[in-house]
Chains A and B, each alone.
Chain A
Amino acid sequence: MRFSRTSKALGVAAIIALAVTGCGGGGGSNNNSSAAADPNKVISAYSNEPQNPLLPANTNEVYGGRVVELLFEGLRAYDSDGKPVNALADSIETTDSQNWTIKVKSGAKFTNGEAITAKTFVDSWNFAALSTNLQNNGFFFESIEGYADVSAVNETTGADGKKTSTPAPTAQTMSGLAAKDDQTITVKLSQPEADWSLRLGYSAFYPLPSEALKDPKKFGENPIGNGPYKFEKEGAWVHDQSISLVKNPDYSGPRAAKNGGVTFKFYTDPGPAYTDLQADNLDVTDVVPSNALKTYTTDFPDRNSTRPNANNSTLNIPGYNPNFQGEAGTLRRQALSHAINREEITKVIFNGTRTPATEFTAPVLDGYNDSIPGSDVLKFDVQKAKDLWAQAEKIKPYDGSKPLLIASNTDGGNKEWIDAVANGFKNNLGIQAEIQPFAKFAEVLDLRKSQSLPGLTRAGWQGDYPSLYNFLGPVWATNASSNYEKYSNPEFDKLLKEGLAAKTPEDANKKFNQAQEVLFKDLPGLPLWYRATPIVWSNNVVSAETGWNGGIRYFDIEAK
């Protein structure tokens, strides 16, 4: 008897819990949008502890990046569509895409009163590029003449055969970089690069005050910048808890703050942040926890946005895998691509927060083309997949002794879509396929770097600056820094180079898209989808929006 009473009580408790969760979003939906915007109110935003001292040259992860972007202003800034507009630059000119002349606006100052001149930029860039300074973003200056000298390293092989590289620069400054006068920077690149000026809005190119160059670590605790915001006070970064920024009253650039400040609250998990938003205890988050992806539009009616950004995912097929070499290999790569139902996976598993890929870059970029010759291979077509596979079998039989493995870390919720892709391979091609799970991203990366993955691997790219080249060069060019599968095709490299040397961005993009045709022939990786970043905001702000790179444009948020 007592047993049944207990279970009844359990049932009641469960119903209460369900009812409570069910109306979770309804509570605060009285959207009072008539309230006037308050330009002095401070908003709060989801974030986490930055991984490095807040120095633009060293910050290359999201949580530090979003703060640095608000604290500093570079020669250019990106508008919400990713179009670069001049900020501290008066003009940026070149006649041959190799020699650039940049005029810096006069009168610009850091918040400590230090003037920003051409020399400030030259010193900052030389500091970032010099290998002994160990700055994470040093390689952004690789196109400038003399970078090879300042970034030189000594490679030594230890007793255990492990290679270590230590910085050994042969010059302290880049020979191609000079301040002609207070307002003029001249830059000589080691080869023509038509899209070089596009990257001048990226944080690695921000100017640094002289204090930063003297003691970067100390500076990074209490950075002094020239951007739309500044630190609220000395020690505004409370470690493991928050960073408080306030509006910089002296700022006059394209990114003027529409609120009084931004307080970044740190969360080790996006879940509690989402709950805080439901209680209006936090104003905006750019990470909707995976269990809320199905409900965030109903939890936050009229207070959510999902905008595509410069980001893509691919499924890379290493060239050293004998099953995918030669003519038969190419046919098999095509067959695999045709066997993935991108449309259904993005809809069912990602709830529309991904859109099927049509090429190797991203749709928000200038020059994007959704009908590059060869892109038909991305269409889901079971019959074609089967035919191509059968053709390949005639040339060289598939070694199916081991299942086809798809490597991925599973801590970020990748298992569902990989299972779906593997099932597509199984059902449509009749081969064994399954996920090769790893607890951590680092494990997969180790195997990718050492060329020892037995099967395919998930890969992704987030644009550093809005350019087609940024999605092609670092990822697929021969020996490029993030080309872990060591894809190499001289024709592709040649077209990239021609694109860089083009006179106009339009010509450049044409070449880059021709280079993509080569990728579509070789299929070193299968483009999967583009990501959109869902964000939600509280009743305390009017609205929020993400920029071209998926980051929230905090300065545009109006509080009410």
Chain B
Amino acid sequence: MVRFIFRRLLQVIPVFLGTTLLVYYMVFALPGDPIAALFGERQPPQSVIDALRAQYNLDQPFWVQYGLFLKNLFTFNLGVDFTQQPIAAALARAFPVTAMLAIEALIIQAVFGIAFGVFAGLKKGKLFDSTVLVVSLLVIAVPTFVLGFVFQLIFGVQLGWAKPTVGANADWGNLILPAVVLGLVSFAYVLRLTRASVSENMNADYVRTATAKGLSRPRVVIAHILRNSLIPVVTYLGANLGGLMGGAIVTEGIFNVPGVGNKLFQAIQRSEGPTIVAIVSVLVLVFVITNLLVDLLYAWLDPRIRYDQ
């Protein structure tokens, strides 16, 4: 077990180096001087631009830039972004907000997705099942940004149930609306995965045995059917958490959530290499750790799975 975890953590190193190198190079290869772009038509004296270029090592060749970036990273000095603000502080502000949003979305999609999925799976072919299927198909078919705008207009502007944007007041309550939008698409997938898995396991031998032993219906469903049906769902949710953390650019944009997605969007617009790579680095870590947790969850869900041979 420990060896397994250790081995998995070792894998982080090449993944980390590879992604940062790739992202750093892509930003480097973007045409146009990002410093000059900060100023528009009215350019400051060239000495100001040159001083800024030197400050961000933009006057160095690529390998030197990347080397300096790595060196700074390992000494926990992320430097400043193009607005002269420390990047570490910006990340410390943005990540908790996005984490809140992602966890809220994850809870919504897990709780509702699994609950509806189980009911639909148990009553396969009935009215509830078909309705849920159609609705989930609809949700999958409609792009997130459409859902976002429609929800924002209905609940934010027309009904006034929630504030249309989050802005500076990012708390659990204000994040509900964006979390619902963010979680909705995955909710539909979770629902369909659970439904398929449950309806398949319903006819398994061990379920018949459990029922024959005289166990109550809820116990059969929860301890036997559901637990065995969860492996694909948990895999999906785990992979999805990373996506929720990093892929919330659209949702965070619509609801003006001051999170990682928004920060990343702004950094890309400004070709801010150091900020982009810093954010991506943290996202890589999040991905690796959630995937590790998912793998460890397997053993709990299905004791037949062993890690050490």
Contact = CB atoms under 8 A, between A and B. Distances in A.
Contacts of B263: 240
A168 B265 CA distance: 38
Contacts of B89: 239
A61 B37 CA distance: 12
B208 interface: no
Contact of A267 (B82, B137, B256): B256
Interface stretch (B44-52, B187-195, B291-299): B44-52
A358 B30 CA distance: 38
B47 A166 contact: yes
Given A60-B42, A242-B167, A272-B254, A217 B90 contact: no
B224 to A, nearest CB: 32
A442 B39 CA distance: 9
Contacts of B168: 238, 241-242, 265
A281 B163 contact: yes
7 contacts: A240-B93, A242-B167, A268-B262, A278-B164, A438-B31, A440-B32, A446-B36
B93 A276 contact: no
A165 interface: yes
Interface in B157-212: 157-158, 160, 163-165, 167-168
B98 interface: no
Interface of A: prevailing SS:
mixed
B165 A241 contact: no
Contact of A481 (B33, B43, B165): B43
A157 B89 CA distance: 37
A446 B43 contact: no
Contacts of A166: 47, 50-51
B59 A164 contact: yes
Chain A CB within 10 Å — which of B43, B94, B146 has the most?
B43
A52 B41 contact: no
B20 interface: no
B153 A446 contact: no
A51 B46 contact: no
A464 B41 CA distance: 12
B84 to A, nearest CB: 6
A482 B43 contact: yes
Interface in A103-154: 131, 134-139, 151, 153
Contact of B31 (A411, A443, A482): A443
A474 B44 CA distance: 12
Interface of B: prevailing SS:
helix
Given A275-B164, A440-B271, A446-B36, A13 B138 contact: yes
Contacts of A240: 90, 93-94, 258, 262-263
Nearest to B130: A2
Contacts, number: 180
Contact of B38 (A51, A266, A438): A51
Given A20-B154, A131-B45, A462-B41, A51 B83 contact: yes
Nearest to B133: A2
Contacts of B47: 131, 134, 153, 165-167
A273 B141 CA distance: 27
Nearest to B169: A241
B134 interface: yes
Contacts of B142: 13
Interface string A251-292: 000000000000001111101110110110100000000000
A461 B83 contact: no
Given A165-B47, A241-B93, 15 more contacts: A6-B138, A10-B141, A21-B153, A24-B153, A51-B82, A60-B42, A61-B39, A153-B46, A239-B90, A239-B93, A271-B253, A272-B254, A278-B157, A279-B160, A442-B32
B156 interface: yes
B90 to A, nearest CB: 7
B152 interface: yes
A44 B271 CA distance: 30
B150 interface: yes
B266 interface: yes
Interface in B255-282: 255-256, 258, 262-263, 265-266, 269, 271
Contacts of A276: 163-165, 167, 256
Contacts of B94: 240
Contacts of A21: 153
Interface in B19-34: 30-34
Contacts of B36: 442, 445-446, 449
A253 B263 CA distance: 39
Given A164-B59, A446-B31, A446-B36, A269 B134 contact: no
Contacts of A460: 41
A352 interface: no
A456 to B, nearest CB: 16
B298 to A, nearest CB: 36
Contacts of B253: 268-269, 271-272
A39 B262 CA distance: 35
Interface in A178-199: none
Given A60-B39, A242-B167, A281-B165, A139 B44 contact: yes
A464 B83 contact: no
A9 interface: yes
B216 interface: no
Contact of A6 (B137, B156, B256): B137
A37 interface: no
Given A268-B253, A446-B33, A61 B262 contact: no
A482 B134 contact: no
Nearest to B256: A272
B133 to A, nearest CB: 9
A3 to B, nearest CB: 10
B40 interface: yes
Nearest to A25: B157
B255 A272 contact: yes
